[in-house]
């Protein structure tokens, strides 16, 4: 009776099945597995999404950036010229050269090494949570000074839950200003309401254009300067260059224009950076002194919690970072964090921080102390603080 379907059986051949039936629904276990897989995909997507936004400081993770965010993310890493540490391309070419110096590798020497031990990126967990919020221009910047203890200050500050900072030095106001504020903001980590965005680039302090440029971004920007005895700072600066170029002349010979007359070569950047009073004059044309905080590099080592207390007050933050956060590491010879940001492990700065300095001729050190004395006194007057370097 039933009409045969071409080459098959009639629907009516099967008792009780007059019309084609939908396929049977999957068993509950398969449905659960599918749901679990979908959740895993969503979680993975959110993780990558948050990393693209907040891992500007984590060079390796930049490569994970995807989708529309990747278009705004800084370009992928290129190997460093020395083949040792990869550098972010935006750190490479100075748009405006820093203070002149006779140092052969000035550009490279002014660059802070990114030690693998430095927790430049937040943990993946904190990255995940930082997927929310938005990128802001920094409200506070550590503008100097090179070899003052700027990395230590930033790493310590990052322990504060209301501080979010970019780990690598952006060098925006000295080398990449032409890239524009949108580019600069994109380097910043995401922040939630009430959190402060920060960065540190120590060369800003000696960059002529930096005060006007930062003021043009926001005249309310809070500025922090970590200062250290200019003689020790110069030796530390020299030690850093020496570590990269062991063939450079001695510190003693670079110090003088004419060693017989004792004329100091102030064009050598290692010497010039330490004339703090001169550099500060430029900043005071654009910022009131009350908007600047001067941190003692020496006290940052002898009493980190004390200096961090001052910094937290200055930034309007609750005093959360206290003595409890630090311990003195005898091997390192420096204070270290009991727990680094986003980790439960103790953390000291990398081996490029706290190097052993070469022995410098005592007479040269004496002459340098004499040279800096009037500038130091002027600096004490300007800041209202005696740093005790004489
Ligand atoms: P030295 O390596 O000459 O000792 P910056 O981070 O601005 O480049 O400064 C580097 C200096 O930070 C180091 O110079 C070191 O003296 C100082 N510093 C301050 N606190 C430190 C800490 N907790 N661990 C290591 N170095 C610290």
Q: Is 356 annotated as a binding residue?
A: yes
Is 147 tagged catalytic?
yes
Distance 3 CA to ligand 1 centre (A): 92
Given this model, what pLDDT does residue 129 score? 52
What would the two tokens of residue 116 be? 């693998």
Q: For residue 133, give Cα distances in angstroms to 50, 70, 316, 366.
A: 10, 18, 20, 53
Nearest C-alpha to atom 18 of ligand 1 is from which residue?
Answer: 149
Element (H, E) at 24: none
Residues 44-88 have pLDDT tens digits of 545 443 433 333 333 332 222 222 323 223 333 233 322 223 332
Please state the pTM of the whole predicted model. 0.74
Nearest C-alpha to atom 1 of ligand 1 is from which residue?
Answer: 354
Nearest C-alpha to atom 21 of ligand 1 is from which residue?
Answer: 152
Out of 32, 102, 135, 147, the active site residue is 147
Pair 344, 125: CB distance under 8 Å? no
Pair 325, 143: CB distance under 8 Å? no
Residues 295-304 have pLDDT tens digits of 999 999 999 9
The structural domains of the chain, with segments of one domain joined by +, span: 134-230+269-354
- Taking the domain 134-230+269-354, which CATH number applies? 3.40.50.300
Residues 24-48 have pLDDT tens digits of 455 566 666 766 666 665 565 454 4
pLDDT band at 390 (very low <50, low <70, confident <90, very high): confident
Q: Is 17 annotated as a binding residue?
A: no
Pair 197, 188: CB distance under 8 Å? yes
């Amino acid at each position: 009776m039933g009409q045969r379907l071409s080459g098959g059986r009639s629907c009516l051949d099967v008792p009780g099945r007059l019309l084609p039936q939908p396929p049977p629904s999957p068993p509950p276990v398969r449905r659960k597995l599918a749901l679990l897989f979908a959740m895993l995909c969503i979680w993975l997507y959110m993780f990558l999404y948050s990393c693209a936004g907040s891992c500007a400081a984590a060079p390796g993770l930049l490569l994970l950036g995807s989708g529309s965010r990747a278009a705004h993310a800084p370009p992928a890493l290129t190997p460093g010229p020395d083949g040792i540490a990869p550098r972010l391309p935006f750190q490479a070419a100075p748009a405006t050269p820093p203070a002149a110096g006779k140092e052969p590798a000035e550009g490279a020497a002014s660059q802070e090494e990114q030690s693998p031990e430095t927790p430049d990126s937040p943990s993946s967990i904190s990255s995940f949570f930082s997927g929310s919020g938005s990128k802001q221009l920094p409200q506070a910047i550590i503008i100097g000074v090179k070899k003052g203890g700027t990395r230590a200050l930033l790493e310590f500050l990052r322990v504060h839950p209301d501080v979010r900072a970019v780990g690598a030095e952006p060098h925006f106001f000295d080398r990449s200003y032409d890239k524009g504020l949108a580019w600069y903001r994109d380097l910043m980590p995401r922040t939630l309401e009430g959190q402060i965005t920060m960065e540190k680039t120590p060369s800003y302090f000696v960059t002529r254009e930096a005060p006007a440029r930062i003021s043009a971004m926001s005249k309310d920007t809070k500025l922090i300067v970590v200062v250290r005895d200019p003689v020790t700072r110069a030796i530390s600066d020299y030690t850093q260059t020496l570590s990269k170029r062991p063939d450079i002349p001695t510190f003693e010979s670079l110090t003088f224009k004419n060693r017989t007359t004792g004329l100091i070569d102030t064009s050598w950047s290692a010497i010039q950076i330490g004339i703090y009073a001169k550099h500060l004059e430029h900043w005071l044309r654009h910022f009131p002194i009350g908007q600047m905080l001067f941190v003692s590099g020496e006290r940052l080592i002898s009493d980190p919690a004390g200096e961090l207390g001052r910094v937290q007050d200055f930034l309007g933050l609750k005093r959360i970072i206290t003595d409890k956060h630090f311990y003195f590491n005898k091997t390192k010879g420096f204070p270290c964090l009991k727990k680094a940001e986003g980790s439960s492990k103790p953390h000291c700065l990398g081996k490029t921080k706290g190097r052993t300095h070469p022995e410098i001729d005592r007479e040269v050190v004496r002459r340098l102390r004499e040279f800096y004395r009037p500038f130091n006194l002027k600096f004490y007057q300007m800041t209202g603080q005696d740093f005790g370097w004489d």
